[in-house]
Structure 1
Amino acid sequence: MHHRHTFAAVAAGILLTAGIGATIPAGATNSPSPSASTPATALVVNARWGGHAAFDRLVIDVRGTLPPVTVHRVGALHYDGSGGRVPLAGRQFLEIRLSPAAAHDDAGKSVYQGPRLLKVHLPALKGVALTGDFEGVVTIGAAFDTTPVYKTYRLHAPERFVVDIAHPVGCRA
């Protein structure tokens, strides 16, 4: 008789556990949730620049984990989505793509505080534009008068992507 009660108690425990488990959403875990300051999707919040003795620097600031970034030379800059040409003066251009990323929050409000379209007066860098925030891809364009020779860096704490563009030594902005 004692074994029946033990078996019944164990069976009830198993069924109860299974029933509770079935009510937990499939994506739920016991791991701590990300903090409110670390968004699930990287947010591109700024683009800034500066001139140095031998190079110009373009910095893209990101809130969250820095996503994969590609940098390509392109013949012209175009706005993502519309395909319209970006009216940025220059003869050579770099297209910098961060994905997955956004320049807006979940409510659709822009979090990007950098230039949308700006002429820059540095020895190498001549302009910067936000060219896209579309379908999980943020694109920033940079304009130059000559073919840019550049190096890229990923820096952390805070998260940022850096493009250093060489110019003749001793040239000042």
Structure 2
Amino acid sequence: MIHARLRQFVALAVGAVLAACLSFAAPASASSLTPAAAGTQVQTPLVVNARWGGHATFDRIVIDLQGYAPTVTVTPVAQLRYDGSGQPVPLAGKYFLEIRLNPAAAHNDAGESVYHGPKLQKIYLSKLKGLAMTGDYEGYVTFGAAFDTLPYYRAYSLHSPERFIVDIAH
């Protein structure tokens, strides 16, 4: 009798934990609630531009945002590919970084692009050799950066106005 009650209690507890976890794993959409919003409707951040610059000791990539700063991951990858199609991105280089923003969009609710930066650009800086917008798909906006040598980088957000920065050391 005690073992049956214990099994029933454990099953109910596991079910409650799974239900709670699934409620946090809901996918983000272009006008979803943000975890930080706590019950208020907040528009997904918009990616409106990407730019770059060369400095004395580093090259810099800047992604300009409208709204709050989303979660961003910067990942070294073997090759850059366009989201959705999987086609290779035609940027020359031996090393690549993928910059992924989520939740984010480069289009408004009507499907019109709000992104005014380059889609594919050769760049002739010390380290940075190219930048491409590789995706605006299902709540993710993705960029790829190309380099001839292994990039040593630092990534962070700045505020007022919102922007995401990747500094690549020379």
Shift of 1:164: 0.3
Q: What residue is the counterpart of 1:89 in the other structure?
A: 92
Residue-by-residue CA offset, 1:120-157 (whole Å, 9 max, x unaligned): 00000000000000000000000000110000121000
- Bigger-Rg structure (1/2): 1
Residue-by-residue CA offset, 1:3-46 (whole Å, 9 max, x unaligned): xxxxxxxxxxxxxxxxxxxxxxxxxxxxxx87xxxx60000001
Q: What residue is the counterpart of 1:112 in the other structure?
A: 115
Q: What residue is the counterpart of 1:100 in the other structure?
A: 103
Q: What residue is the counterpart of 2:52 in the other structure?
A: 49
Query: What is the TM-score of this pair, normalised by structure 1?
Result: 0.74
Structure 1: stretches of 5+ with no match in the other structure: 1-32, 168-173
Q: What residue is the counterpart of 2:63 in the other structure?
A: 60
The size of the alignment, in residue pairs, is: 131
Matched position secondary structure for 1:106: coil
Q: What is the CA RMSD across the aligned residues, in angstroms?
A: 1.1
Q: Moved runs in structure 1, 4+ residues, more than 6 A?
A: none
Q: What residue is the counterpart of 1:70 in the other structure?
A: 73
Q: Is 2:140 aligned against 1:122?
A: no
Give distance in 2, aligned partners of 1:71 and 1:152. Answer: 7
Give distance in 1, aligned partners of 2:63 and 2:147. Answer: 17
Give distance in 2, aligned partners of 1:154 and 1:108. Answer: 26
Residue-by-residue CA offset, 1:50-103 (whole Å, 9 max, x unaligned): 000000000000000010000000000000000000001111000000000000
Q: What residue is the counterpart of 2:135 in the other structure?
A: 132
Q: What residue is the counterpart of 2:159 in the other structure?
A: 156
Matched position secondary structure for 1:80: coil
Query: What is the TM-score of this pair, normalised by structure 2?
Result: 0.75
Spell out the pairing of 1:1-12 with structure 2 (5 A cutoff): none
